[in-house]
Amino acid sequence: MNEPNFWDDIDKANKKNQELTILKKESTSYNNLNKELLSSKDILELIELEPSVELQEELESSLEILTTNIEELELATLLNGEYAESDCYLEIHPGAGGTESCDWANMLLRMYERFCDKMNYKYELIEQQAGEEAGIKSATIHIKGAYAYGYLKCESGVHRLVRISPFDSNKRRHTSFASVSVVPEIDQNINIEIKEEDIRIDVYCASGHGGQGVNTTPSAVRITHFPSKIVVTCQNERSQLQNKEQAMKVLKGKLYALEAERKDRELKALKGISTGIDFGSQIRSYVLEPYTLVKDTRSGYETAEASKVLDGDIKPFIESILKSK
């Protein structure tokens, strides 16, 4: 980083800086663990010589810090796998249910934005399509930070909401679904083959939230990949070229995730494990009526503090999933 030309390539420099942040965090956790181990050992020796309530309390405090450091190191070992340290793209789509599901998709978007704030992740909305009456029909956010993909890949799947509908004059309980998909940001230098004849690139005028702020020039980009039937869009940049580059990164990430998914299915089939990873595979339920409960179907972790979860407090769910694998 002290090289004079380090910041010439901003993207490369940012990735190196992120790598440094991760290494510093890991080394700090390891050093703190060693420090507390030595401290606990010293306190134990003192207790053996002269037991006291004060020393006992000091030992308990030291053991609490030790437990925290051990958990941090354990989590670091669980955040493994290809691209775990990478930035990522998180995409949200409502399921069947019209306005209800569109509103639920918007609630999920807010939840992930609040999660990013808590984790000090930077995020940018690169595509959003407003619902006809409320909420969103789709949204994609680019998330940057240490282990962004390692954490958020656990969120891929279908999320179910049960609540009294604010759109129902009879105040009936409704169930809504929305799907979340998370793919890593793939380095452009990594070779994921995309043939020119396999894609179609469309450009159009981007629009802001709710159809406002329509651009007069066609800067938004939509890429259709025929073999996989994947469609990606990007409209946050004013430049068509920048939107195209961003869309190609998303497409690369989706193709990587598709291949990883296929390999995972084959491995589970060899092990005799039944798996369902289609749109109907529900991973988490958020119940707001007649009681409050958020429960993950994979790890079994649950909490009655639904409002905190919807405000971005999803790290305990993610950690429970990582530990259950």
254 pLDDT above the threshold of 70? yes
Q: Whole-angstrom Cα distance, residue 278 to residue 30?
A: 40
pLDDT digits (tens, 9 = 90+) for 126-155: 889 888 888 999 999 999 988 899 999 999
Contact predicate 58/36, CB 8 Å: no
Q: Whole-angstrom Cα distance, residue 149 to residue 87?
A: 6
Confidence at residue 308, expressed as pLDDT on a 0 to 100 scale: 97
Q: Are strands 157-164 and 282-287 parallel, antiparallel or unpaired?
A: parallel
Q: Dmax of the chain from CA atoms?
A: 81
Judged by DSSP in three states, 122 sits in strand
Judged by DSSP in three states, 143 sits in strand
Q: What is the CB neighbour count within 10 angstroms for residue 124?
A: 12
Confidence at residue 188, expressed as pLDDT on a 0 to 100 scale: 60
Reference 146, options 303, 14, 315; nearest CA is 14
Q: Whole-angstrom Cα distance, residue 251 to residue 125?
A: 16
224 pLDDT above the threshold of 90? yes
Stretch 9-34: mean pLDDT? 82
Query: What is the band of 214 on the pLDDT scale with cuts at 50, 70, 90?
Result: very low
Residues found in the chain: 325
Reference 308, options 288, 283, 282; nearest CA is 288
Sheet holding 199-204, edge to edge: 199-204, 220-225, 230-234
271 pLDDT above the threshold of 50? no
The answer to whether the Cα torsion of 110, 153, 83, 236 is positive or negative is: negative
Judged by DSSP in three states, 118 sits in helix
Q: Whole-angstrom Cα distance, residue 253 to residue 247?
A: 10
Q: What percent of the chain has pLDDT over 90?
A: 34
Q: Which amino acid is at 218?
A: P
Q: Are strands 157-164 and 302-303 parallel, antiparallel or unpaired?
A: unpaired
Q: Whole-angstrom Cα distance, residue 160 to residue 157?
A: 10
